[in-house]
Structure 1
Amino acid sequence: MTPNDKEAWRSQAEVSVIVLAVLCMAAPVAFIVPALPRTEPTVPSEPTQGPQRLVKNGVVVEFSLLHPGDTSGPPRPLMEGDEAEVRLRMTDASSGLPLRGLSPSAWMDLGHLLSDKADVQQECKDRVGVYLKGLVGIRPLIDLNSYYLLVLNKDPSISVIDPVVGMTGKTSLYTTVVLERPGADWVKSLDQKRLYVSMPRAGAVAVVDANVFRVEARVQAGEEPTRVALQPDGHYLWVGNDASEPARSGVTVIDTQTLKPAATIATGRGHHEIVFSSDDRYAFVSNRDEGTISVISIARLEKVKDLKAGPLPISLAYSPLSRVLYVADGKEGTVTAFDGARLEEVARLSARPGLGPMRFSQDGRWGLIVNPAEHVVYVVDAAENQFVHGIPVSGQPYQVSFTRAFAYVRLLDSERVEMINLSTLGRGKQPTVQGFAAGQSAPKLAGDLSLADSITQASTEAAVFVASPSDNTTSFYMEGMNAAMGSFGNYGHNARAVQVVDRSLSEVEPGVYSARLRLPVAGRYDVALLLDAPRVLHCFQVEAKANPALKKALGALEIEYLDAPARLVVGQKPLLRFRLRDASTHQPATGLEEVKVLTYAAPGRQRAEVAARELGEGVYEVEPSLPRAGSYYLYVAVPELKLKYGDLPYRTLWVGGMSQNQTKREEEARGPRAN
């Protein structure tokens, strides 16, 4: 192949990629098979499971994909569904010293090898170029640089947004997690593989698999489960029960290994905030209407003491630096400090009534307490157990979040977010405050707000995402900028809180970069590695074998939506058809007796469930209930195969007003209008 031929092939490939992206956006097929153009038939070769070594531009790269813990001895074969660990060890070719502080990028996708080695790496380069463009529908099966933005909605759902795709100006909604009831609070597991979401109206906690973004379990969690908190070692999930009856008001403790309740402990009346000592010795639970803080032994799961810190304990915070518990009282306007080991009061600080949430910076040094009534943020120095600042802000502060360098203060009555530079805090210093707008209107205009944070740190240390509940958007802000760099829509849902699930490679030891993943399907994978400085671009190859037991257990189906327009008009009664196939054999899934369809209008109204009827050859038909104009979400479940709503890809439908023909017919029926 001549250089001109190769250049012509690359141009043709780019055109093909764009055409494929358009087809993926337009077609109703709800599954994507990654494919890229080839110039000649591929000749597969046997990939190696053990470490693979590359020397290029002065860098030695040792790549491996193994079961976690298989660092010595013969590696176990990898199969689809297995959890695996990618490890990239990078050293200097001359000195052998580890290369620290690099930012490698990597992608995994199904592929084959070309017999010509030069063409293999040229194809690898072309693939990486496509991935970096962020085209819709042309994404790798596994993106090892990615993170996902999760938005907790007012309706029973979680929007999962791919910011990488969204930054290109294309659609950024990756998927939607359907919940049984609306979520109140949520927390990630330490390894970010799970998300625990409290659902007060369901009396349960939803456990979301953050690898595939599906609800994997439902755990009974007592009456009115609201606040959720994960203790430092991750062993127990603590759920605050805001029950009206004193005997049922307290906490439910859930074992995160078995996903079963380990204890139910009554603590007192009122809403409960929960924090922990850094050594996992005690859990501290506030009882707002009781005016107490219950101390629970984590080892025995028993209440050992009640602390008194004022008539209205509004918030708790624990500093791992000073090992002191701080309790803010909203009525008296005091902050009481208790020694975390002796459980005795060591200081009582006086502010003004109206105190609200309190948080500590990531290093445990600075505690910030908001006072919406006074438009002030108070700062406690944990090293001294003293107030060092009362910082005025431009509105009513109601939430505080942190990056390493800044405290972000959300205002209730303004779209602005105030930023406090942590390096300017301390006795004798003048705090520096700046800010930016997140959205166009104040959060309080959205009505009821979530307990969960509306600000979260991005995958990098110096950036945040901010949810705007009244605008239903999420802004992205990088520190040092004068304004937010962009925003993401929420596709008809009402945003309440945000979280980030990070999937990117991280340096786990000097020169070793690692990430864990789950192999989604069997096949041969190309693993593309990109390093900017020094420049390295190379594709490794690994294989995952088929797992018959997994296929049998999943009863997996794939769905294809047929011949229904995405846009309808009010009064139109569409017959929606879809085809179900076995995911492993691709044969029609016939004879299913229980296929259900759920529709609801954004943001969660007009929920309706109907049964689908089989037409033959795996095609099923349903007449969904779409009574009013608006955006609708449609989900399919197959209970007999244990496929719940959200396990299969969903479909969106838009119902508009009357068409021009309908309007004309109605005008003709009414007769001529009087002049």
Structure 2
Amino acid sequence: MKSASNALATAIAWSAACTCIAAQPPADAPTDARRYVKEGVVVEFEARPAADAAALMEDELAELRFSIREASTGRPMRGLAPGAWLDVAENLRNKDGAEQKSCKDKIALYLKGIVGIRPMADLNSYYVVVLNRDASLSIVDPKVSMVGRTSTLARVPLAGAGADLARSGDDRRIFVSMPAAGRVAAIEADTFKVAANVRAGPGATRLALQPDGRYLWVGNNAPAGERGSVTVIDADALKPLATIPVGRGHHEIALSSDSRWAFVSNRNDGTVTVIDVRTLAAVREIAVGGQPIALAYSALSRLLYVAEAQSGVLYAIHPDDFSTQARIALAPGLGPARFTPDGRWLLVLNTADDKVHVIDPSSNRVVHDIAVPGQPYQLAFTRAFAYVRSLGSERVSMINLASLGSGKQPTVQSFAAGARPPKAAGELAIADSIAPAAGDAGVLVVNPADNTTYFYMEGMNAAASNYQTQGAAARAVIVVDRSLREIEPGVYAARVRMPAAGKFDVAFSLDSPRMLHCFATQAAVNPRRAAARDGAQLEYLVESRRVDAGADVPIRFRIADATGREPRTGLADVRVMVVLAPGRRRGEVTASEVGDGVYEARAAFTEPGAYYVYVASATLRKGFGELPFLTLQAVDGKLAERDRR
């Protein structure tokens, strides 16, 4: 969020024209075409394949990198918030005697958050992923608004109702457990499409990703009285590797910071199963009695903490010899337990006693017992605050982490997230209803009782905005961050899947010094995709890539054989699909032959925005996406007419 707001200020404040140069220049271009210098700051752009490939290719991941340093010393400039966008190249090179405006103007439109006016990839954005009560996810772009409301970009259907959410460390994938289906949905975060429904086990519920990102662990809750299991999934290959029997009851999962050990609680057996990650085999069962309700591992003390709900005791267990290092008496009714992001404090909720216990893992002593009314039951963190959600209150409590410590008085504030308490919704999800927003200075809070997700920015007295998922009942939330990250000193990067073969603009923005500059890159034809297009050639016959918004526009194209010489005539089943990016609205029409292998369809471009045009034919055995697609920009009629002239 920080990078987006800074980029917005830069684009609006700066009215100078943008000079655009290619990142992969022709032979007569300057040798420093990837380098831009202004007011003592050097920006170097690079687009590289994210995988082992010789060049950027369509439908493959690319890493876009910006190295920012001082021109005089070469010192990396750290802690900046640059902005960047990738879009189809269009009229970016200056013409003699003509002012260059396309790059700057397009960015200004993106930053205004107008529905339909979106780049192909916004490297300053984050998306809100809402888990619904039915078998679906709602994807929301909080920057895009219509009549004051944020816009739902897409709906992702699932094979079953979801229970828990997790995401990969690089935000490439979202995982959703589906208990009734006994599977885990893996969703690609760049397309919001289900990549696989991976087999887990009956009652697949709790999810936990290893710190090293290699394995996804799934707790399978068996029917009452039966032993459960955990399934281990290769998070990259999306294949199940092992299903390991454990005990009875619901399972919570914790992993050691070195991904060496996995710990699985068995609530109805009063035990914790220890699993060797190297061999994927259970090696020990630790008896704690009662109901082990929460697990948390400390990277600092290298101890496993087990919260037992019935007795109210917190156990600290050493994973090397499985001995109990401390037995911390709290109070019956314990619930979730989590460490602060820096690992300094362990916070344990006590739902029955309306308290948050704060533990110092260096001494295993209770530092604070903080009163939080309304039955606290969920806990989330930003760098500065702990957020506590209560069953019986519409308010979210905020504990200032800087106020914790021996001899200090904890500072607690709260804000309203709706008008009704969560328990008014009835059955609640096991997944978190609070998630930190991108930029780590705010949170998204789902109130399932009023089907609304609220955004709260730290420092405000109330929620800054809210939105509803139309046609669905919101239960939980997670955030996918698409923004540039500082991966090494002064180097800011993001990954993006190249949407097509061809040339692309890469616009860059920085607030200090004020900088708005357009680089470019290109993606080669992917042989894998090209093979799928063999057997027919498709050529679009369009005069301009801009069309009138709100109009029915004829789309004409030529279909030929694989050689491109012989027209394919007489095709009666040619269909055209038009999709408003990024997949929010689509429509299909039938194309008619109007010439020798030339076909035409009239499609509606109902609102401004970027559109994808796809062609399919059963006779050619080509579905949508298997032939080349076309990108069009629906704009105000005057702009489109100017292009045609």
* TM bin (shorter chain): 0.7 to 0.9
CA–CA distance in structure 2, aligned partners of residues 290 and 580 of structure 1: 66
Does residue 1:87 correspond to 2:65, yes or no? yes
- Alignment of structure 1 residues 254-293 onto 2, 5 Å: 254-293=233-272
1:537, distance to aligned residue in structure 2 (A): 1.0
Distance change (3 Å), C-alpha of 1:102 and 1:221: same
CA–CA distance in structure 2, aligned partners of residues 581 and 310 of structure 1: 72
Aligned partner of 2:77 in structure 1 is 99
1:226, distance to aligned residue in structure 2 (A): 0.5
In structure 1, the gaps of 5 or more residues are 1-13, 15-43, 557-578, 596-611, 621-636, 649-675
TM-score, L = length of structure 2? 0.78
Aligned partner of 2:46 in structure 1 is 64
The amino acid that maps onto 1:84 is A
Aligned partner of 1:460 in structure 2 is 439
- Alignment of structure 1 residues 72-221 onto 2, 5 Å: 76-112=54-90, 113-116=92-95, 119=98, 121-166=100-145, 169-221=148-200
Q: Contact 1:134/1:168 (CA < 8 Å) preserved in 2? A: no
Aligned partner of 1:306 in structure 2 is 285
Q: Contact 2:201/2:229 (CA < 8 Å) preserved in 1? A: no
CA–CA distance in structure 2, aligned partners of residues 224 and 584 of structure 1: 50
Q: Which has the higher contact order (CA 8 A, sep 6+)?
A: 2
CA–CA distance in structure 1, aligned partners of residues 423 and 348 of structure 2: 19
Distance change (3 Å), C-alpha of 1:51 and 1:216: farther
CA–CA distance in structure 2, aligned partners of residues 242 and 235 of structure 1: 23
Distance change (3 Å), C-alpha of 1:148 and 1:168: farther
CA–CA distance in structure 1, aligned partners of residues 456 and 110 of structure 2: 24
Q: Contact 2:255/2:297 (CA < 8 Å) preserved in 1? A: yes
Distance change (3 Å), C-alpha of 1:45 and 1:236: closer
Q: Secondary structure at the match of 1:409?
A: strand
Q: Once the two structures are superposed, what CA deviation does each residue of 1:291-344 show, in whole Å capped at 9, x if it has no partner?
A: 100000000111111112221111111111211111111111111110133321
Q: Secondary structure at the match of 1:172?
A: strand
Q: Secondary structure at the match of 2:37?
A: strand
The amino acid that maps onto 1:77 is A
CA–CA distance in structure 2, aligned partners of residues 107 and 100 of structure 1: 21
CA–CA distance in structure 1, aligned partners of residues 305 and 574 of structure 2: 57
CA–CA distance in structure 2, aligned partners of residues 580 and 114 of structure 1: 27
Cα RMSD (Å) of the superposition?
A: 3.5
Q: Contact 2:115/2:146 (CA < 8 Å) preserved in 1? A: no
TM-score, L = length of structure 1? 0.75
Q: Secondary structure at the match of 1:249?
A: strand
* Larger CA deviation: 83-92 vs 49-58: 49-58
CA–CA distance in structure 2, aligned partners of residues 614 and 324 of structure 1: 64
Q: Contact 1:166/1:488 (CA < 8 Å) preserved in 2? A: no
CA–CA distance in structure 2, aligned partners of residues 584 and 546 of structure 1: 19
The amino acid that maps onto 2:411 is T
Q: Contact 1:121/1:538 (CA < 8 Å) preserved in 2? A: no
Q: Which of residues 288, 307, 319 is equivalent to 2:298? A: 319
Aligned partner of 1:412 in structure 2 is 391
Q: Secondary structure at the match of 1:444?
A: helix
Aligned partner of 1:481 in structure 2 is 460
CA–CA distance in structure 2, aligned partners of residues 377 and 78 of structure 1: 51
Q: Percent identity?
A: 51
Distance change (3 Å), C-alpha of 1:247 and 1:301: farther
Aligned partner of 2:580 in structure 1 is none
Aligned partner of 1:28 in structure 2 is none
Q: Secondary structure at the match of 2:335?
A: coil
Q: Secondary structure at the match of 1:408?
A: strand
Aligned partner of 1:294 in structure 2 is 273
Distance change (3 Å), C-alpha of 1:379 and 1:291: same
CA–CA distance in structure 1, aligned partners of residues 268 and 160 of structure 2: 26
Q: Secondary structure at the match of 2:321?
A: coil
Aligned partner of 2:357 in structure 1 is 378
Distance change (3 Å), C-alpha of 1:437 and 1:583: farther
Distance change (3 Å), C-alpha of 1:580 and 1:302: farther
Q: Once the two structures are superposed, what CA deviation does each residue of 1:573-616 show, in whole Å capped at 9, x if it has no partner?
A: xxxxxx9999999x9996599x9xxxxxxxxxxxxxxxx99999
Distance change (3 Å), C-alpha of 1:80 and 1:50: farther
Q: Contact 1:57/1:536 (CA < 8 Å) preserved in 2? A: no
Q: Contact 1:133/1:168 (CA < 8 Å) preserved in 2? A: no
In structure 2, the gaps of 5 or more residues are 1-11, 13-23, 537-553, 561-567, 578-587, 594-598, 602-615, 630-645
Q: Contact 2:435/2:443 (CA < 8 Å) preserved in 1? A: yes
Q: Once the two structures are superposed, what CA deviation does each residue of 1:499-533 show, in whole Å capped at 9, x if it has no partner?
A: 11111111111111111111011221111111111
CA–CA distance in structure 2, aligned partners of residues 478 and 418 of structure 1: 14
Distance change (3 Å), C-alpha of 1:279 and 1:377: same
* Larger CA deviation: 123-132 vs 429-438: 123-132
CA–CA distance in structure 1, aligned partners of residues 388 and 79 of structure 2: 31
Distance change (3 Å), C-alpha of 1:486 and 1:365: same
1:643, distance to aligned residue in structure 2 (A): 8.5
Does residue 1:493 correspond to 2:493, yes or no? no
Q: Contact 1:551/1:584 (CA < 8 Å) preserved in 2? A: no
Does residue 1:389 correspond to 2:368, yes or no? yes
* Larger CA deviation: 241-250 vs 288-297: 241-250
CA–CA distance in structure 2, aligned partners of residues 334 and 117 of structure 1: 77
1:480, distance to aligned residue in structure 2 (A): 1.4
Aligned length: 544
1:475, distance to aligned residue in structure 2 (A): 0.9
Q: Contact 1:582/1:589 (CA < 8 Å) preserved in 2? A: no
Does residue 1:54 correspond to 2:36, yes or no? yes
Q: Contact 1:252/1:265 (CA < 8 Å) preserved in 2? A: yes
CA–CA distance in structure 1, aligned partners of residues 451 and 282 of structure 2: 41
Q: Once the two structures are superposed, what CA deviation does each residue of 1:331-374 show, in whole Å capped at 9, x if it has no partner?
A: 11111110133321011111221111111111112111112211
Distance change (3 Å), C-alpha of 1:53 and 1:220: same
Q: Contact 2:346/2:359 (CA < 8 Å) preserved in 1? A: yes
> Which of the pair is proportionally richer in helix?
1
1:53, distance to aligned residue in structure 2 (A): 1.0
Q: Secondary structure at the match of 2:106?
A: helix
The amino acid that maps onto 1:463 is G
Q: Secondary structure at the match of 1:103?
A: coil
Q: Contact 2:574/2:591 (CA < 8 Å) preserved in 1? A: no
CA–CA distance in structure 2, aligned partners of residues 342 and 439 of structure 1: 48
Aligned partner of 1:27 in structure 2 is none
The amino acid that maps onto 1:61 is V
Q: Contact 2:143/2:150 (CA < 8 Å) preserved in 1? A: no
Does residue 1:550 correspond to 2:529, yes or no? yes
Does residue 1:517 correspond to 2:496, yes or no? yes
- Alignment of structure 1 residues 549-568 onto 2, 5 Å: 549-550=528-529, 552-553=531-532
Q: Once the two structures are superposed, what CA deviation does each residue of 1:143-202 show, in whole Å capped at 9, x if it has no partner?
A: 111111110111111111101114982541111111111110011012111111110111
CA–CA distance in structure 2, aligned partners of residues 315 and 581 of structure 1: 61
1:235, distance to aligned residue in structure 2 (A): 1.2
Aligned partner of 2:213 in structure 1 is 234
- Alignment of structure 1 residues 2-81 onto 2, 5 Å: 46=26, 52-68=34-50, 76-81=54-59
Q: Once the two structures are superposed, what CA deviation does each residue of 1:51-78 show, in whole Å capped at 9, x if it has no partner?
A: 71111222211111111378xxxx9332
Distance change (3 Å), C-alpha of 1:406 and 1:171: closer
Q: Once the two structures are superposed, what CA deviation does each residue of 1:80-129 show, in whole Å capped at 9, x if it has no partner?
A: 11211111111222222222221111111112333427857432222221
CA–CA distance in structure 2, aligned partners of residues 584 and 161 of structure 1: 37
1:479, distance to aligned residue in structure 2 (A): 1.2
